[in-house]
Structure 1
Amino acid sequence: MILLVTSTATPPATWYIIAAVAIMFVVTFALRALPFAILAKLRDSKFVNIMALWMPAGILGLLAIVIFYSTAAAPDTVLWKLLVAVAVTIASHLCLGRRTLVSIGLGTVTYVVLVNFIA
């Protein structure tokens, strides 16, 4: 939220608001377009191709480790529910053609059902 501080009680002028919105639009558009402009020149880079191959798995693995650790460290966690959800995620990923979103979804649903409906 942006607060416009003025010395009087009157609202800012219309041109001022339009200028602020225009500047925000230009900056946001430039920041969104910049990675694509840079990446277009690096398409043939070996480093970029290696990162494109390994980065999704690395991010997913790091996320899984952080969530697994924080959930397992919680005082009321039953570890077997967490392990069952991880097993379902791995099994569905391997058996259903390595569809990442499906396996994450099934693992998440399994964990939510186990935590909320199984004592």
Structure 2
Amino acid sequence: MTMTTTQAIITIAAVVLGTMATRFIPFIIFPEGKNPPEFVKYLGTVLPYAAIGLLVIYCLKDVPASSNHGLPEAIATLFIVWIHKWKKNTLLSIGGGTVLYMILVQTVFR
């Protein structure tokens, strides 16, 4: 099923408005010079860690079902933690962990 030109324009406009709203509304609600509520400050400190924890749990949720008892996942996870503690570079941690995991599952733990 294809969209008509009108439907495509409406869809693009809705996406643009949604993106702009999520970018601009926080600056309208909390202008410069006005302190945000303590609850918002608290969420700003805890939500990044909660999101990372959620992503880790989501990535590792199917590990017991794997045939290698989670060994490549455990090795890659420990490597990610180690390299991040050592270099403190998020992209290096993610990239290095992904490369190591792919090497492990494609060569070592076939």
Q: Map 1:29-108 to 2 at 5 A.
A: 29-40=16-27, 41-42=29-30, 44-45=35-36, 46-70=38-62, 72-97=63-88, 99-108=89-98
Q: Which amino acid aligns with 2:64?
A: A
Q: Which amino acid aligns with 1:93?
A: H
Gaps (5+ residues) in structure 2? Answer: none
Q: Which moves more between the two structures, 83-92 or 42-51? A: 42-51
For residues 8 and 3 of structure 2, what CA distance do their matches in structure 1 show? 13
Higher-RCO chain (CA-CA 8 Å, sequence separation at least 6): 2
Gaps (5+ residues) in structure 1? Answer: 5-16
For residues 68 and 21 of structure 1, what CA distance do their matches in structure 2 show? 38
Q: Which has the larger radius of gyration?
A: 1
Structure 2 length normalisation: TM-score? 0.76
Determine what percentage of the aligned residue pairs are the same residue.
Answer: 23
Q: Secondary structure at the match of 2:43?
A: helix
Conservation of the 8 A alpha-carbon contact between 2:64 and 2:70 = no
- When the two structures are aligned, how many residues end up with a matched partner? 104
RMSD: 2.2
Structure 1 length normalisation: TM-score? 0.71
Q: Which amino acid aligns with 1:81?
A: P
How far did 1:80 drift?
2.3
Q: Could you report, residue by residue, the CA deviation over 1:87-112 in whole angstroms, capped at 9, with x for unpaired residues?
A: 10111111112x22221221121111
For residues 26 and 79 of structure 1, what CA distance do their matches in structure 2 show? 45
